[in-house]
Amino acid sequence: MQFKQNETIYTQIEKYLKKRIFTGECAPGERLPAIREFAVLMKVNPNTIVKVYADLEQEELIFSERTNGKFVTDNIELLRVEKSKFIQNEVRDFLSSIKDMTENEQDIINYIRENYGNV
């Protein structure tokens, strides 16, 4: 994973993991990588992964089983609601970053339509 300079590594990893959960890449009930294993994969300090996992557990997106590790929640309704919130926040961030550069709302809609299939 290539980290951006303008956002904390922790935040980027949290978003990365949320996206994997929300797209089903990490399926409900699936075991997540161990902290050290994930830290090596991400090339970060294990404490960063501890913080990411703790925050995701607080949000109830993941849960712990004492000796078995961390797992993605199997609460489908919670996943649906949190996915919607995540997308809304991403859209808000995107719009706030470009709003001053466009003439009006229709320009933004046109840009999205023109580029949607290219991502």
Q: Is residue 64, in this structure, part of any structural domain at all? A: yes
Q: Is residue 2, in this structure, part of any structural domain at all? A: no
Overall domain count for the chain: 1
pLDDT tens track for 54-86: 999 999 999 999 889 999 999 999 999 999 999
User: For the chain, what percent of residues have pLDDT higher than 90?
Assistant: 78
Domain containing 30: what range? 9-118
Whether the model clears a pTM of 0.85, i.e. scores above it, the answer is yes
Phi first, then psi, for residue 69 (nearest 5°) are 110, -155
- Calculate the average pLDDT of the chain: 94
pLDDT at 100 over 90: no
pLDDT tens track for 18-32: 999 999 999 999 999
- Whichever domain contains 69, its CATH number is 1.10.10.10
What percent of the residues of the chain are helix, what percent strand, and what percent coil, each to the nearest 5?
65, 10, 30
